[in-house]
């Protein structure tokens, strides 16, 4: 039932023209992961060039780094996560999606959340966080914290983490480094998924 509903939703996305991003996309980037086994939804910013070509989220350099961190934390991308973005189409030059673009895509995003009904929502990066959390704060100040936010008609446990593209600038795993915090946050998420 869930997969059928998601397939119907994907068909809607394939013909969507609610914003101008649909005019320049190669593919919609609908999701990745197993909707039947996923206990968490990871929401990223927007598809990049590699994602637009493949139709799969987080497959470029940042995606490979995310996979490494998920593996280190013991989280299965294929079974534990359902991965989506705030928008389904790539913004030109990989810019941040506008509020209007996110608004045009929000019904699809909320329906995916409702259908998956995750135990945890992971906001991967500031854009995903700001899409659901209206308090002005930097992600570095609240990353790793469990926030109770009403999304898709239900109060849900949400955890912001750094976006892996941010981590590409930092290579240290020393305590206090962004990569250190990313791994700690993912380990915490792994514990919460048990």
- What is the pTM for the complete model shown? 0.96
- The domain locations on the chain are 2-193
Provide the pLDDT for residue 1: 77
Alpha helices by DSSP H, listed for the chain, are 2-14, 21-24, 49-54, 61-73, 99-116, 126-132, 139-142, 164-167, 178-193
Q: What are 123-132's pLDDT values in tens digits?
A: 999 999 999 9
Residue 154 confidence (pLDDT): 95
Query: Could you list the mean pLDDT of each consecutive 10-residue stretch along the chain, which spans 194 residues?
Result: 93 95 96 96 97 97 97 97 98 95 97 97 97 92 97 96 95 95 98 93
- Fold classification of 2-193 (topology level): Uracil-DNA Glycosylase, subunit E (3.40.470)
């Amino acid at each position: 039932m869930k997969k059928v509903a998601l397939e119907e939703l994907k068909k809607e996305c394939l013909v969507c023209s609610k914003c101008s991003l649909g005019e320049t996309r190669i593919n919609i980037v609908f999701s990745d992961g197993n909707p039947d086994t996923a206990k968490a939804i990871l929401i990223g910013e927007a598809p990049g060039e590699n994602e637009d070509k493949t139709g799969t989220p987080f497959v470029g350099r940042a995606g490979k780094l995310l996979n490494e961190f998920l593996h280190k934390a013991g989280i299965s991308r294929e079974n534990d996560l359902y991965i989506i973005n705030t928008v389904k189409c790539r913004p030109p030059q990989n810019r941040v999606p506008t509020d209007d673009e996110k608004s045009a895509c929000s019904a699809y995003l909320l329906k995916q959340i409702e259908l998956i009904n995750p135990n945890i929502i992971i906001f991967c990066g500031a854009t995903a966080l700001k899409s659901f959390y209206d308090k002005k704060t930097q992600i570095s100040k609240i990353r790793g914290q469990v926030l109770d936010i009403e999304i898709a008609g239900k109060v849900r446990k949400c955890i912001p983490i750094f976006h892996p593209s941010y981590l590409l600038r930092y290579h240290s795993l020393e305590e206090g480094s962004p990569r250190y915090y990313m791994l700690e946050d993912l380990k915490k998420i792994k514990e919460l998924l048990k």
